[in-house]
């Protein structure tokens, strides 16, 4: 590898600063940085351990550049930039002609992410923009990554302050607390020969690997949820009828998920006897029908939910704002206010967990679907336990780590520094659209975004979307189901028999295909545990220097040997497919061989067909 020299020049709102430019093979590369103020410019040699610079007003920066050999050979640069809390720090990277991956989960999820427009974007987990996963990680197609420390009060300004640039700004302002006694802009830059090597290093050393994977039945057969089809109109009779329909139509299951609204009131974690007069008999009946059972739950207690709300408030189990209020809001306020359980408080965590365990033991519940967890639901600005420099997003980690103890059927929807947990991270609710407005195309792009943030155990949302404006059409439902086939799990709520017999037949075909390839899905999950590999990789994973592969957004892979090219456009019956180098069997059929490294134009994809390709060196299934 040709070691790049580093010229450093960051930006601050005092006189002077540093930014980072990487020169690789004599060509200015992705790290060319745009600053607002001129300052000293220095050469950093990777053979030197440290360079330190002091500025006025107690501001200083320390740069450490080092060669690394494991798990990949490259150069890693640590930038530690510290200032008083009233000083704003920043650095901008020119996005150049490279492609970029990682970044925040978004409702309008582009892939690659260089098209995102983020104006002064607070980099925390939040309801806005579906940002349930907010790992401060940016990865370039040229083999460079940026990763920001948890103590940085980070804002991102992409494509607004400077066109075709992402500016990373540390500033102590809301949603970050003024209780911070300093400002930090600490980050790591990794420079490697290609994008895959860069990501493999980042996962092994920084992002970390999951310690296990979800239940194998959950990876093989569908989850059936009451939510999208029934919303809050659930009861003993509704749930049992739903289970009977699934069985009568000959569909398999991992488990059935009783979603909102089974509680007496939100946060009571007590069954509403009007809807479920005997929850134990409900659960027993479901298990007699061959279903395991999970319950939807959340971290909130509504103000009118007594006596639980008063108990939690008096015991100090609720998040309090800097103004002393516990009141906040969520989507189920019911005209009142709510409170957020303080998962940074050990006693509050125990109180929450113990009540769920009572539910499990009383009714035979197998596990839970844990909703929310984003820091923005807290009363603003929250006062949390722990290191103030890690707040407010630390509550997401505290919540997710708390609920992960409920076993291998757990699903969460938020994540922050929790890549090591062996639980499914669900995509936030998708809408029943064909468009990039949180519709079908974003199922694929969000899958890739999450995997490239180090979350390989991705649970796609409901097949067909959630139908908030209108239920999915037959065509949208079928194409959505097909797109899910080689993802880790399939989650249904809208059902094929609400359409017609053709939909039932096509749905069975692809649910069976998912089960047929479940051993490959399980093997990919195991590789994620042992090697840190994404379960569903982008096409460039097997061709990291292929410029065409680097920009593909509407295909994905299962591991390294199965390429999936779902139809994502309404009324489309053909699509173009790009195959990476190698030899590929269409639909896994050894008699239909295509060479890689080129496009297949107008590949036929009638409504009952999902284009997928298996590397010819893999034994046929």
CATH of the domain at 609: 2.60.40.1180
Report yes or no on 585 lying in a domain. yes
| Residue 334: per-residue pLDDT | 79
- Lowest-confidence range among 33-37, 289-293, 417-421, 447-451? 33-37
Cα separation, 235 vs 255, in Å, equals 17
Report yes or no on 597 lying in a domain. yes
The domain tally of the chain equals: 2
Give the residue from 191, 206, 221 where a domain finishes.
206
As separate numbers, helices (DSSP H) first and strands (DSSP E) second, the chain gives: 13, 36
| Residue 336: per-residue pLDDT | 83
Whichever domain contains 61, its CATH number is 2.60.40
- Lowest-confidence range among 32-46, 265-279, 383-397, 508-522? 32-46
164 versus 288: which is more confidently predicted? 288
Mean pLDDT to the nearest integer, 526-554: 97
Helices 474-484 and 441-451 meet at what angle, rounded to 10?
Answer: 20
Report yes or no on 194 lying in a domain. yes
Mean pLDDT to the nearest integer, 17-33: 33
Which residue from 455, 354, 355, 462 is spatially nearest to 414, judged by alpha carbons? 455
Report yes or no on 125 lying in a domain. yes
| Residue 49: per-residue pLDDT | 53
Backbone angles phi, psi at 357, to 5 degrees: -65, -35
Residue 617 corresponds to which tokens in the numbers above? Answer: 């060196």
| Residue 456: per-residue pLDDT | 98
Whether residue 211 has pLDDT greater than 90: yes
| Residue 619: per-residue pLDDT | 80
Whether residue 15 has pLDDT greater than 50: no
Report yes or no on 368 lying in a domain. no
- To the nearest whole number, what is the mean pLDDT of the chain? 91
Give the residue from 176, 206, 236 where a domain finishes.
206
Backbone angles phi, psi at 151, to 5 degrees: -90, 5
Of all helices (H) and strands (E), which one includes residue 515? helix 501-516
Which residues neighbour 278 within 8 Å (Cβ) at sequence distance 6 or greater? 236
Band the pLDDT of 56: cuts 50, 70, 90: low
Half-sphere exposure of 198 (CA within 13 A, CB side): 30
For 251-299, the pLDDT digits (tens) are: 999 999 999 999 999 999 999 999 999 999 999 999 999 999 999 999 9
| Residue 168: per-residue pLDDT | 92
Burial of 329 (0-12, 13-18, 19+ CB in 10 A): middle
- Lowest-confidence range among 162-171, 259-268, 270-279, 488-497? 162-171
Report yes or no on 48 lying in a domain. yes
Task: Quote the domain boundaries for residue 589.
Answer: 539-615
The b/e string for 289-317 (b: 16+ C-beta within 10 A; e otherwise) is eebbbbbbbbbbbbbebeebbeebeeeeb
Torsion angle, alpha carbons of 197, 200, 205, 208, to 10: 170
Report yes or no on 386 lying in a domain. no
| Residue 163: per-residue pLDDT | 85
Residue 404 corresponds to which tokens in the numbers above? Answer: 């992960």
Whether residue 7 has pLDDT greater than 50: no
Q: Is the dihedral of CA 269, 274, 275, 277 positive or negative?
A: positive
Backbone angles phi, psi at 228, to 5 degrees: -65, -40
Percent of the chain residues past pLDDT 70, beyond the cut: 91
Cα first-last separation, the chain: 40
| Residue 578: per-residue pLDDT | 98
Whether residue 347 has pLDDT greater than 60: yes
Cα separation, 231 vs 238, in Å, equals 11
Mean pLDDT to the nearest integer, 398-427: 97
| Residue 55: per-residue pLDDT | 65
CB neighbours (10 Å) of residue 587? 12
The b/e string for 513-549 (b: 16+ C-beta within 10 A; e otherwise) is bbbebbebbbebbebbbeebbbbbbbbbbbbbebeeb
| Residue 67: per-residue pLDDT | 86
Give the residue from 206, 226, 251 where a domain finishes.
206
Whether residue 525 has pLDDT greater than 80: yes
Residue 427 corresponds to which tokens in the numbers above? Answer: 């995509």
Report yes or no on 516 lying in a domain. no
Whether residue 445 has pLDDT greater than 90: yes
Would you call the peptide bond into 426 cis, given omega within 30 degrees of 0 as the criterion?
no
């Amino acid at each position: 590898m040709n070691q790049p020299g580093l010229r450093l020049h960051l930006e601050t709102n005092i006189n002077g600063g540093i930014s980072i430019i990487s020169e690789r093979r004599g060509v200015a590369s992705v790290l060319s940085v745009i600053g607002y103020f001129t300052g000293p410019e220095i050469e950093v040699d990777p053979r030197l351990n440290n360079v330190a610079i002091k500025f006025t007003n107690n501001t200083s920066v320390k740069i450490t550049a080092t060669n690394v050999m494991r798990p990949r050979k490259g150069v890693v640069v640590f930038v530690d930039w510290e200032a008083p809390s009233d000083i704003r720090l920043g650095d901008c990277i020119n996005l150049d002609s490279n492609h970029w991956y990682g970044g925040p989960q978004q409702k309008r999820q582009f892939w690659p992410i260089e098209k995102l427009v983020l104006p002064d974007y607070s980099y925390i987990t939040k309801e806005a923009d579906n940002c349930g996963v907010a790992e401060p990680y940016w990865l370039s197609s040229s083999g460079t990554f940026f990763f920001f420390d948890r103590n940085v009060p980070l804002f991102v300004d992409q494509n607004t302050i400077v066109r075709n640039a992402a500016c990373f700004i540390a500033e102590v302002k809301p949603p970050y607390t003024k209780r911070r006694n300093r400002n930090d802009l600490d980050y790591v830059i990794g420079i490697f020969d290609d994008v895959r090597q860069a990501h493999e290093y980042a996962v092994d050393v920084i992002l970390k690997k999951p310690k296990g994977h979800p239940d194998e039945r959950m990876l093989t057969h569908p989850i059936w949820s009451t939510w999208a089809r029934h919303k809050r109109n659930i009861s003993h009779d509704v749930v049992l009828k739903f289970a009977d329909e699934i069985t009568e139509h000959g569909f398999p299951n991992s488990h059935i998920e009783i979603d909102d609204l089974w509680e007496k009131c939100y946060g009571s974690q007590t069954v509403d006897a009007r809807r479920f007069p005997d929850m134990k008999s409900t659960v027993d009946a479901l298990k007699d029908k061959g279903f395991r059972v999970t319950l939807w739950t959340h971290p909130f207690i509504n103000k009118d939910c007594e006596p639980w709300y008063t108990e939690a408030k008096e015991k100090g189990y609720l998040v309090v704002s800097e103004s002393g209020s516990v009141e906040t809001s969520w989507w189920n306020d019911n005209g009142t206010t709510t409170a957020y359980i303080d998962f940074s408080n050990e006693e509050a965590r125990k109180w929450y967990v113990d009540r769920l365990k009572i539910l499990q033991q009383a009714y035979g519940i197998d596990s839970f679907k844990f909703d929310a967890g984003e820091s923005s639901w807290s009363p603003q600005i929250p006062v949390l336990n722990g290191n103030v420099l890690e707040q407010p997003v630390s509550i997401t980690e505290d919540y997710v780590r708390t609920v992960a103890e409920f076993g291998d059927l757990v699903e969460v929807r938020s994540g922050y520094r929790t890549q090591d947990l062996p639980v499914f991270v669900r995509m936030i609710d998708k809408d029943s659209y064909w468009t990039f407005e949180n519709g079908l195309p974003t199922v694929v792009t969000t899958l890739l975004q999450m995997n490239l943030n180090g979350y390989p155990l991705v649970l796609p949302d409901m097949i067909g979307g959630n139908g908030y404006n209108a239920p999915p059409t037959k065509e949208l439902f079928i194409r959505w189901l097909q797109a899910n086939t080689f993802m880790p799990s399939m989650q249904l709520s809208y059902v094929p028999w609400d359409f017609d017999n053709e939909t039932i037949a096509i749905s069975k075909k692809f649910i069976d295909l998912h089960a047929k390839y479940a051993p490959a899905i399980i093997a990919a999950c195991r590789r994620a545990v042992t090697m840190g590999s994404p379960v569903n990789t982008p096409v460039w994973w097997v061709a990291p220097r292929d410029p065409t592969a680097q920009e593909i957004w509407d295909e994905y892979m299962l591991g390294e040997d199965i390429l999936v090219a779902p139809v994502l456009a309404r009324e489309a019956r053909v699509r173009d497919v790009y195959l990476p180098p190698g030899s590929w069997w269409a639909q896994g059929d050894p008699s239909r061989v295509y060479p890689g490294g080129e496009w297949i134009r107008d590949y036929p994809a009638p409504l009952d067909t999902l284009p997928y390709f298996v590397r010819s060196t893999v034994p046929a299934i």
